[in-house]
Structure 1
């Protein structure tokens, strides 16, 4: 690895840690008692995926199934999500938001948007679009291949 690549990686890690730590702290503060940060991530994924399963959540969030089970149990107990068994294969359990869960999610989603939107004012639209596209590509590479060229 050359010096330039090392510098890019160091810069990326430095800014990533700073931004995620600060944004996560602000999100935690604003979500308050409704949802924890981890619960918000789970609810957000359940909202975006038809026929979402605990296994899919664990894989997507790169955590153990036991961690997901604990979060899901708390969300079910709070009336935020429902479990539904597949009619054809009773082993499959799908997760979905309840009406109450949907309202909690919409409120949390709006709070997150309010936290992040003031920062976007400092950038041109094309720069925001390019940054998000590149970050999505990085996420896709991490999900698919771990960054290795095929």
Structure 2
């Protein structure tokens, strides 16, 4: 793809552009539920992995621990999740979805699936699946930093 802006030739820029568009679209979809995209990710993980510690959860949902703590505080206030002391280590806290949180995640998941389906329709299922696999592979790459 030709462009007058050199930045458009970088994969990192294309990834950032795609992320921004999808994040913006999901933000609009989830607004009716009063949930941020990041909260959706937390809820998705908690539904399947309720025993994660906060630090484990932060890593999985791609958030810095202090930012996750603020988000979780809001989610607790909204009645979506509750905290409980970890059974194995009483110094740690586990999170669990409340009944409202479980109900909400099913509603939200429907909207996220619609978003994915629209991407499938626009670029085709085969390309979308290839893209998903490539992005997962890129996510696993350890890119060494060059120091001067």
| TM band (smaller chain) | 0.7 to 0.9
Q: What are structure 1's unaligned runs of at least 5 residues? A: 1-6
**C-alpha RMSD of matched pairs (Å):** 2.4
Equivalent residue for 2:143, pick from 137, 140, 147: 147
Task: Please say if residues 24 and 37 of structure 1, whose CA atoms lie closer than 8 Å, have aligned partners that are also in contact.
Answer: yes
TM-score between the two structures when normalised by the length of structure 1: 0.77
**Alignment-derived partner of residue 14 in structure 1:** 13
Find the residue that maps to 1:121 and give its secondary structure.
Answer: helix
TM-score by length of 2: 0.78
Conserved? CA contact 1:34–1:104, under 8 Å: no
Paired residue for 2:3? none
CA distance in 1, matches of 2:88, 2:95: 16
Q: Which residue of 1 aligns with 2:102?
A: 102
On the 8 A contact 2:83/2:96 being kept in 1, the answer is yes
Could you list the per-position Cα deviations for residues 29-50 of structure 1 after superposition, in whole angstroms to 9, with x for gaps in the alignment? 1111420122222222222324
Q: Is the CA contact 2:119–2:128 (under 8 Å) kept in the aligned structure 1? A: no
For structure 2, the residue ranges without an aligned partner over 5 or more in a row are: 1-5
- Equivalents in 2 of 1:74, 1:54: separation in Å? 15
Alpha-carbon distance, 1:87 to partner: 2.8
Q: Which moved more, 1:47-56 or 1:93-102?
A: 47-56
Structure 2 CA distance for aligned equivalents of residues 24 and 76 of structure 1: 23
CA contact (8 A) 2:84 2:93 kept: yes
Cα gap change, 1:36/1:126 in structure 2, threshold over 3 Å: closer, same or farther?
A: closer
Report the Cα offset of residue 136 of structure 1: 1.3
Does the C-alpha gap of structure 1 residues 55 and 13 become closer, same or farther in structure 2, counting only changes over 3 Å? same
